[in-house]
Amino acid sequence: MEAKNKRVAIVGAGPSGLTACKHLLARGFRPVVFDAGSAVGGVWRRTLASTRLQTPAAPYRFSDFPWPEAAVAAEASFPRHDEVAAYLAAYARRFGVLERVRFGCRVVGAAEEEVAAWERWSGTGEAFGDGTGEWHLTVMSHDSGEAPSTQVHKFDFLILCVGRYGVAKLPTFPDGGGVPEAFQGRVLHSMEYSSMAHADAAELVRAKRVVVVGAGKSALDTAAQCAEANGRRYPCTLLYRSAHWMLDPQVAPRFKFSLLTTTRLGELMVHKPGEGLALSLVATMLTPLRWLIMKLREAYFKAHIPMEKHGMAASTSGDAAHSASAPTALVLDDDAMVNADVVILATGYDPDAPLRAVFTSPRFRDTIASSSSSDNNDAVLPLYRQCVHPRIPQMAVVGYAESGASVYPYEMMAKWVAHLLDGAVRLPGVREMEREVEEWTRWGRWARRSSGGFFLKSCIHAVTTWYHDLLCRDMGYSPRRKAGFLAEWTQPYGPADYAGIQ
Ligand SMILES: Cc1cc2nc3c(=O)[nH]c(=O)nc-3n(C[C@H](O)[C@H](O)[C@H](O)COP(=O)(O)OP(=O)(O)OC[C@H]3O[C@@H](n4cnc5c(N)ncnc54)[C@H](O)[C@@H]3O)c2cc1C
């Protein structure tokens, strides 16, 4: 069967699923996209009223689809959640993706028996191996008003775009000291809170004693939401172990610190996976310079943001941790009590759970992302080019690796996968893929150590251009995307540089 006639399923219609579908359509495939929700946009369809992009709009976009003027009029523009959702929906409409999406369809099982021999990857180097493997997808659909129905669909290739923010990570409490045994107020995860209608979310916290657990983006958005609903009369309490604060956009853009991570010159200062001796020496020699720049940056922010004055100075280890609870109060590690009617757990997400949930049997679940805590805590998910598991044939992942502005790296992954499917990219053997994965794993461990442990799994932020270079070469494009030597080294890399890769 000709590759274009192969049956391809995409799971997820967030930014990564949309771009995966767009690039497959462009290369003549007719993929089917399943999404459990009722609209495209992924996480941007269930955010708090106060949520905005935390990265500027300029790098958070697809390479060939700029933002509408109105959304990016300000110099440093951070569009609102509804503007992001509208942008993603417009992209889906513009490229004919919308017609390919089946909403209200949750993939609850990909049966692996039919995809028997993983050596298929190495046998031919082609996406569809020897042409005999087949996925059986169990899809549960919720048509409005109808009871859920389950159907099994057959596909030749599976692309997982399920995101990292779909399954909540919940704290554990001592026996009998948790919810609802001890604490009788309302406790919910920030994901559940974000999914509520905005008016209901405001009502839930109105005139209540609210405790928000965590200090990440979701925690701060939730605190902002409480402030909006309650003003100064009922301030919410933020409980956290380690403080880190989002930068005020009015302060950040005056200095282009992002050049450190977006220019080739900046990238010279960090170690890169598989970099070779010369680049490794250069990175080592430039490490003190990078350290100095970071310290200057820290000093600048400390001088311009009155954190000390408001008792908000960031410390690496705070003294407040969630622990056992009493009927209307939380008890902290140091036995202090914090009264509460509502507790919102902004305690993060399990990034591997949405991937694991797709598979029927424990074998493939553990192959894609081990449930054992030591592997689970590894610095990277074992994916060749952040897309293909060496031991799971006829399947790719788009959108797992994190970057500073995630959309255009997802788009690059989608382009690479589309090239793979139509034969323009060929895979090396299983061993070679595993060797490359091991190199990235070693690098990830180093990156985690050198960032003091604050490193999201598979975060490629510091080496995004380096990663894109690999994809460009695989696809037969020059990784040098700028006009001239000076621009190549000093100009920031961003979405528009890759618009020519189709
Ligand atoms: C509050 C918040 C703010 C963020 N802000 C930023 C930011 O400023 N900058 C940035 O770069 N990133 C940000 N992110 C990261 C954000 O996740 C990405 O920008 C982007 O949305 C990820 O796209 P995705 O398509 O990979 O995943 P998602 O957006 O999570 O979409 C995944 C889709 O898959 C569907 N799905 C999952 N499992 C199944 C299944 N089994 N069957 C069917 N459908 C399924 C879901 O319904 C969902 O629609 C933020 C995330 C959150 C939660």
Check if 162 has its Cβ closer than 6 Å to any atom of ligand 1.
yes
Residue nearest to atom 44 of ligand 1 (CA): 35
Mean pLDDT of the chain: 87
Residue nearest to atom 34 of ligand 1 (CA): 12
CA dist 311 → 184, 213, 282, 315, 453 (Å): 30, 18, 40, 11, 24
Least-confidence region, from 206-210, 255-259, 333-337, 376-380: 255-259
The whole-angstrom separation of Cα 245 and Cα 477 is 39
Note whether 408 and 494 are within 8 A (CB): yes
Question: What pLDDT was estimated at residue 322?
Answer: 38
Domains in the chain: boundaries: 3-166+350-498, 179-242+315-345
Residue nearest to atom 19 of ligand 1 (CA): 406
| Residue 97 pLDDT > 90 | yes
Note whether 427 and 433 are within 8 A (CB): yes
Ligand 1: centre distance to CA 496 (Å):
22
The whole-angstrom separation of Cα 428 and Cα 412 is 19
Q: What is the pLDDT of residues 157-201, one digit of tens each?
A: 999 999 999 999 988 877 766 666 678 889 999 999 999 999 999
Ligand 1: centre distance to CA 23 (Å):
19
Q: What is the pLDDT of residues 455-474, one digit of tens each?
A: 889 999 999 999 999 999 99
Which pLDDT band, with edges at 50, 70 and 90, does 73 fall under? confident
| Average of per-residue pLDDT across 407-434 | 95
Residue nearest to atom 48 of ligand 1 (CA): 42
344: its two tokens: 């919102």
Least-confidence region, from 271-280, 281-290, 322-331: 322-331
Atom of ligand 1 nearest to the CA of 81: 3
| Residue 241 pLDDT > 50 | yes
Atom of ligand 1 nearest to the CA of 164: 30
Check if 357 has its Cβ closer than 6 Å to any atom of ligand 1.
yes
Relative orientation angle of helices 81-94 and 15-26, to the nearest 10 degrees: 20
| Average of per-residue pLDDT across 202-222 | 91
The CATH number that domain 3-166+350-498 falls under is 3.50.50.60
| Residue 316 pLDDT > 60 | no
Question: What pLDDT was estimated at residue 301?
Answer: 79
SS3 12: coil
Q: What is the pLDDT of residues 102-111, one digit of tens each?
A: 999 999 988 8
Note whether 383 and 438 are within 8 A (CB): no
Atom of ligand 1 nearest to the CA of 218: 1
Question: What pLDDT was estimated at residue 129?
Answer: 78
The whole-angstrom separation of Cα 496 and Cα 491 is 12
Burial class (CB in 10 A: 0-12, 13-18, 19+), 299: exposed
463: its two tokens: 């080496």
| Average of per-residue pLDDT across 134-140 | 91
Question: What pLDDT was estimated at residue 60?
Answer: 94
3-state secondary structure 96-112: CCHHHEECCEEEEEEEC
The whole-angstrom separation of Cα 44 and Cα 51 is 9
| Residue 397 pLDDT > 80 | yes
More confident residue, 25 or 53: 25
Which pLDDT band, with edges at 50, 70 and 90, does 327 fall under? low
| Residue 112 pLDDT > 60 | yes
Tell me yes or no: is domain 179-242+315-345 CATH 3.50.50.60.
yes
The whole-angstrom separation of Cα 221 and Cα 246 is 10
Question: What pLDDT was estimated at residue 262?
Answer: 87
The whole-angstrom separation of Cα 21 and Cα 9 is 9
103: region left, alpha or beta (phi > 0 left; psi from -120 to 50 alpha): beta
Ligand 1: centre distance to CA 28 (Å):
26
Residue nearest to atom 50 of ligand 1 (CA): 43
| Average of per-residue pLDDT across 319-348 | 70
| Average of per-residue pLDDT across 31-54 | 94
Least-confidence region, from 48-62, 313-327, 467-481: 313-327
334: its two tokens: 């140091």
Question: What pLDDT was estimated at residue 325?
Answer: 44
| Residue 5 pLDDT > 50 | yes
| Average of per-residue pLDDT across 134-149 | 84
The whole-angstrom separation of Cα 191 and Cα 345 is 9
User: φ and ψ at 205, to 5 degrees?
Assistant: -100, -10
Ligand 1: centre distance to CA 442 (Å):
27
Residue pointed to by tokens 């020897």: 130
Check if 355 has its Cβ closer than 6 Å to any atom of ligand 1.
no
353: its two tokens: 């759970």
Terminal Cα distance for the chain, rounded: 24
Q: Which of 60, 162, 193, 221 maximizes ligand 1 atoms within 8 Å of its Cβ, making it the mutation to test the pocket?
A: 162
Residue pointed to by tokens 């759970």: 353
Atom of ligand 1 nearest to the CA of 163: 27
| Residue 317 pLDDT > 70 | no
Check if 62 has its Cβ closer than 6 Å to any atom of ligand 1.
no
Question: What pLDDT was estimated at residue 50?
Answer: 85
Ligand 1: centre distance to CA 256 (Å):
27
Ligand 1: centre distance to CA 15 (Å):
7
| Residue 488 pLDDT > 90 | yes
Check if 47 has its Cβ closer than 6 Å to any atom of ligand 1.
yes
Which pLDDT band, with edges at 50, 70 and 90, does 339 fall under? confident
Atom of ligand 1 nearest to the CA of 166: 30
More confident residue, 370 or 176: 370
The percentage of residues in the chain with a pLDDT greater than 90, rounded to a whole number, is 57
